[in-house]
């Protein structure tokens, strides 16, 4: 967290990309409130996924380049715990600002009032999964040429369930239907990704260090 806050560029870049990407949509599709309200949930989630990708490549890259990752691997602390700590810091620096910015941008897209609480809840439940799954992709692409492209190809297909159920939760709330089933699936996806991402990313990091 201290390193991330000391640099500060990643968080600003993620939020800036998220805001600019959403702001461009009314210019592209037109300012009609009905049209913007219909696509608001999808636009917000797609831009959140793309924004989260921006900082994933640097999740382990700096430690790998300066040799710190080898020192972390030799600690008594399991490497899986180091991965989870990295994911937690990544979410606090990048995912949490997306959760805060989402309702403000929802107002720009004329999102209906019934969808705001569900949007915040869905973002809060879904964005940790983005960091966890992204950590696996970042570890697998560590040290590879054009790692950013490889990371996107690895991670984006795995983000689809989060996108689908995140959008579905908001649309259900707007339509007057209960969003709880979709939110529970998002929570289950995060709970399942927690141990799987830790072990998979740690195994990929050990492979990269050999």
pLDDT in tens, 106-159: 988 988 988 999 999 999 999 999 999 999 988 888 866 666 778 888 888 999
Residues of 89-102 as b/e, b for ≥16 C-beta within 10 angstroms?
Answer: bbbebbbebbbebb
CA dist 13 and 110 (Å) reads 25
Q: What is the mean pLDDT of the chain?
A: 87
Query: Distance (Å, rounded) from C-alpha 72 to C-alpha 95?
Result: 24
Q: What is the pLDDT of residue 9?
A: 67
- What confidence score (pLDDT) does residue 147 get? 64
Range of the domain at 15: 2-209
Number of domains in the chain: 1
**What was the pLDDT predicted at 8?**
60
Compute how many other C-beta atoms are within 10 angstroms of the C-beta atom of residue 60: 25
More reliable by pLDDT, 54 or 105 = 105
- Write the CA distances from 65 to 61, 62, 129, 142, 201, integer angstroms: 6, 5, 26, 10, 17
Whole-model pTM: value is: 0.88
- Share above pLDDT 90 across residues of the chain, in percent, rounded to a whole number: 40
């Amino acid at each position: 967290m201290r390193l991330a806050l000391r640099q500060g560029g990643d968080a600003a870049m993620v939020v800036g990309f998220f805001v600019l990407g959403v702001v461009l949509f009314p210019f592209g599709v037109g300012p009609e409130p009905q049209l913007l309200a219909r696509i608001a949930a999808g636009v917000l989630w797609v831009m959140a996924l793309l924004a989260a990708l921006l900082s994933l490549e640097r999740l382990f890259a700096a430690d790998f380049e300066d040799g710190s990752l080898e020192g972390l691997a030799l600690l008594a602390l399991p490497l899986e715990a180091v991965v989870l700590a990295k994911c937690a810091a990544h979410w606090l620096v990048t995912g949490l600002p997306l959760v805060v910015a989402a309702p403000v941008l929802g107002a720009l897209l004329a999102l209906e009032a019934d969808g705001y609480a569900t949007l915040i809840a869905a973002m809060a439940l879904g964005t940790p999964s983005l960091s966890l799954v992204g950590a696996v992709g970042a570890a697998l692409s560590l040290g590879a040429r054009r790692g950013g492209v490889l990371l996107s190809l690895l991670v984006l297909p795995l983000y689809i369930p989060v996108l689908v159920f995140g959008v579905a939760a908001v649309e259900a709330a707007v339509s007057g239907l209960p969003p709880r089933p979709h939110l529970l699936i998002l929570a289950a996806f995060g709970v399942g990704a927690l141990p799987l991402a830790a072990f998979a990313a740690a195994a990929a990091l050990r492979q990269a260090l050999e």
